[in-house]
Amino acid sequence: MHGFAFVAPTAQAEVTGLLEEHGSEARLLAGGTDLVVGLRTGAIRPRVVVDLKRVAELRPGLSDAGGRLAISATTPLSRVVRDGRVRQWFPALAEAAATVGSIQIRNRATLAGNICNASPAADTVPALLVYGAEVVIAGRAGERRLPLDRFLLGPRRTALGRDELVTSIELARPGAGTFAAFGRLTRRRGVDLATISVCCSVDAAGVTRFAFGAVAPTPFLVADESGVLADPDADPETKDRVLAELTGLARPISDVRGSREYRQAMLMVVSRRLLRSVVDGRGKG
């Protein structure tokens, strides 16, 4: 690995100060499961690596207030997966987070890191999109919030400014009667990056939302407001037509994980299956 300086500030202001000073020469380190790989391969060559794990304001944890759950930027995914509130209120997020890497990876990897890394295949992003997650951002000028879909600009590109970092991710507790599930396809059953990933939710009003991962420059959200998809009695062919329209918005590429055609076809298959399980769950719930 090439040389760089390592700093572990204890206050958030130091972090933003360092970012201000070094700009793109500085890299933030949360769990390091993307960053350290990049450092090793030389894909990134920062002058300064700033560890976030000792920053007092960013202490790991999940807190809820007023029906919103805030997940701090240093919370490892293993903790997110275990958290009772996440499992109860945001089960599709728990499922998605549980698919990330191995237990060793999840003991380090963070939710904030997953979104800031801005990979088209980031597994938690479809779930966060479906749940309408908000990204809490801090900079020298103070705090701002962005919905996740406006935070992600493209592969490896986010809306963060030079001096900004993500401090937490917030989720509003879904209304009663919302059901959601996450699914993905991989080349092997064990630890793998997604060939495609899908999160699906149906709310009490009968609006069905899908977020698709690994089939476009960033995971993206679509919705069926007509209620057709959520209707257990709707004719399967009509449903398929609606689904095909939604999945048709994907722009998958061919790579070592799968061809464009396969991804496109699987998006439909996985979406159809997820929808069925969500609608079934709703019927029972």
Partner 1 sequence: MIGTSARRVGGVERVTGRQRFTGDVRLAGMLHVKLVTLDCARARIAAVDTGAASGVPGVRAILTAADLPRPIPRYGPTYRDRPVLAVGETKFHGEPVAAVVAETEEAAEEAAGLVRVACEELPAVLTVASALDPSAPLVQDPELRPDDLLGRTNIRREWHFGWGDVAAAGADCVVDEVYTFPMVTHFAIEPHAFIAAPDRDGLIIWSSIQHPYLLQAAIAEVVGLPLSKVRVFAPDPGGAFGGKQHAKFEPLLAFLALRTGRPVRLALTLEETFQAVRRSAFEIRVRSGFRSDGTIAFHDTECNALMGAYADIAPRVIAKSGYLICGPYRVPDARIVVRALLSHTTPATAFRGFGTPQVAWAIESQMDEAARRLGVDRLEIRLKNLARRGDEVVPGDRPADGDWAEAVSRAAAAIGWGSPLALGRGRGIAVAIKASATTGASYAIVRLHHDGSVTVMAGTSDMGQGARTVLAQVAGQELGVPLERIAIVMGDTGSVPFDLQTSASRSTVFMGTAVLNACREVRRQLAEIARELFGLAEGEVVVEPGIVRAPGLELRYEELLAQAWGPVRGELIGTGVRRGEHVPAHPLGGPPAFYEFNCTAVELEVDRETGEMLVLRHVSVADVGRALNPAHVEVQDEGAAVMGLGHTLMEHLLLDEHGRIRNLGALDYRIPTTKDLPLELRSLLVENGDGPGPYGAKGAGEGGLLAVAPAVASAVAEATGAVIRDLPLTPERVWQAVEALGRGGRPDPPAA
Partner 2 sequence: MSETARVSLTLNGEPRTVEIGAGRTLLDTLRWELDLTGTKECCAAGECGACTVYLDGEAVNSCLVLAAEADGREVTTIEGLGSGGRLSRLQEAFLETGAIQCGFCIPGMVVAADALLRETPRPTLDEVLQGLSGNLCRCGGYTRICAAVLRAAGAADVTG
Ligand X SMILES: Cc1cc2nc3c(=O)[nH]c(=O)nc-3n(C[C@H](O)[C@H](O)[C@H](O)COP(=O)(O)OP(=O)(O)OC[C@H]3O[C@@H](n4cnc5c(N)ncnc54)[C@H](O)[C@@H]3O)c2cc1C
How far, in Å, are 53, 107, 207 from residue 29 at the CA level?
A: 8, 15, 38
Residue 31 engages partner 1 in binding (rule: CB under 8 A): no
Closer residue to ligand X (CB): 128 or 267: 128
Binding mask 14-43 for partner 2 (x = CB under 8 A): ---------------x--xx--xx-xx---
Smallest separation, CB 254 to ligand X (Å) = 20
Residue 101 engages partner 2 in binding (rule: CB under 8 A): yes
Supply 145's token pair.
Answer: 């919030």
Closer residue to partner 1 (CB): 57 or 192: 192
Closer residue to ligand X (CB): 109 or 198: 109
Residue 11 engages partner 2 in binding (rule: CB under 8 A): no
Residue span binding partner 2 (CB under 8 A) among the ranges 95-103, 117-125, 137-145, 235-243: 95-103
**Closest-approach residue to ligand X (CB):** 113
- Kindly tell me which residue out of 24, 63, 238, 259 binds partner 1, with binding defined by CB under 8 A: 259
Smallest separation, CB 243 to ligand X (Å) = 24
- Kindly tell me which residue out of 144, 187, 241, 251 binds partner 1, with binding defined by CB under 8 A: 187
- Kindly tell me which residue out of 42, 84, 142, 190 binds partner 2, with binding defined by CB under 8 A: 190
One-letter amino acid of 201:
S
Smallest separation, CB 39 to partner 2 (Å) = 7
Total residues at the site for ligand X (CB under 6 A)? 31
196 Cβ neighbours under 8 A, 6+ residues apart: 184, 185, 212, 213, 214, 215, 252, 258, 263, 266, 267, 270
Binding mask 123-162 for ligand X (x = CB under 6 A): x------------------------------------x--
Residue 60 engages partner 2 in binding (rule: CB under 8 A): no
Residue 97 engages ligand X in binding (rule: CB under 6 A): no
CA dihedral for 249, 254, 258, 261, sign (positive or negative): positive
Residue 215 engages ligand X in binding (rule: CB under 6 A): no
Closer residue to partner 1 (CB): 37 or 141: 37
Give the footprint of ligand X on this chain (CB under 6 A).
27-35, 37, 52, 73, 99-101, 105, 108-110, 112-114, 116-117, 122-123, 160, 165-166, 191, 193
